[in-house]
């Protein structure tokens, strides 16, 4: 069985930056084991699979090399880029995902792809797991939590960039991941994202966690529109707009690869 595949660098305006995702459009769902095997073979942060349903919406699922992921922002951006490229007259894409419901994606006048996510504001954590504190080389000022990750807050961008994770400690915190964040020097805020239990060591750019980080920093900085930098080795810029119950996250994307994969019939 032959399937189309695209590899897109999301939250980047040139290749080799941002976060890489594979996108595999399907006519029908494959068995879970086969989608997981394809994602492991791709060995990228995520592989997104989608089908178009009878209502015209795109049902989407995301797999890391290790497991299915409930919510992935950069692979949604990559999927939207691939769909817009194949359908140049399409103005708005509606994705449907089990864990987060409906996600609307559109193209902006300045060439960005904008995604509308449900707000996932973190709450302050009073009892901090020992393995979280032992898993970060610099002690955070405070720790918050949402349904996706522990949010460790620091006082400066330099501290975020300097954190060395003890991945064996952080892995024990699964299924939750760990994001470290602080006010930025040239951007409103910065972050890094560690997910050894679910995908890898450090994620290059994590769109989904900005549904938590953008509301957090919007409240603290007193502004609804923010520019964020994920300070990984590849780096990525995210444009965030916070509303009452939604977070709009925009970014650029660029295609690196278009091809065909051949897998066993299912």
Of 206, 217, 152, 146, the C-alpha closest to 184 is 217
Q: How many residues does the chain have?
A: 266
Q: Is 94 a catalytic residue?
A: no
Say how many Å lie between the first and final Cα of the chain, rounded: 8
SS3 78: helix
Which listed residue (14, 41, 46, 243) is catalytic? 46
Q: Quick one: how far is CA 42 from the chain centroid?
A: 17
253, 113 in Cβ contact below 8 A? yes
- Cα(240)–Cα(24) distance, integer angstroms: 27
Annotated active-site positions, please? 46
């Amino acid at each position: 069985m032959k399937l189309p595949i695209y590899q897109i660098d999301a939250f980047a305006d040139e290749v080799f930056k941002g976060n890489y995702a594979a996108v595999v459009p399907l006519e029908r769902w494959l068995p879970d084991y086969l989608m997981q095997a394809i994602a492991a073979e791709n060995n990228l942060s995520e592989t997104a699979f989608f089908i178009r349903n009878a209502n015209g919406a795109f049902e989407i699922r995301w797999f890391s090399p290790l497991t299915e992921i409930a919510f992935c922002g950069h692979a949604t951006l990559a999927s939207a880029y691939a769909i817009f490229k194949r359908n140049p007259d399409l103005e708005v894409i509606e994705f449907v995902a089990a864990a987060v419901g409906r996600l609307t994606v559109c193209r902006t006048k300045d060439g960005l792809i904008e995604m509308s996510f449900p707000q996932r504001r973190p709450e302050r954590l009073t009892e901090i797991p020992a393995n979280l504190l032992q898993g970060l080389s610099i002690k955070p000022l405070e720790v918050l939590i949402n349904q996706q990750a522990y949010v460790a807050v620091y006082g400066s961008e330099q501290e975020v960039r300097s954190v060395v994770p003890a991945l064996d400690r952080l892995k024990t915190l699964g299924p939750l991941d760990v994001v470290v964040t602080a006010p930025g020097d040239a951007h409103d805020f910065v972050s890094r994202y560690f997910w050894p239990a679910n995908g890898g060591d450090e994620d290059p750019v994590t769109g989904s966690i900005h549904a938590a980080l953008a509301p957090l920093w919007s409240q603290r900085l007193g502004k609804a529109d923010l520019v964020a930098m994920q300070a990984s080795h590849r780096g990525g810029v995210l444009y965030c707009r916070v509303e009452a119950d939604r977070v709009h996250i925009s970014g650029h994307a660029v295609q690196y690869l278009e091809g065909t994969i051949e897998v066993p019939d299912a």
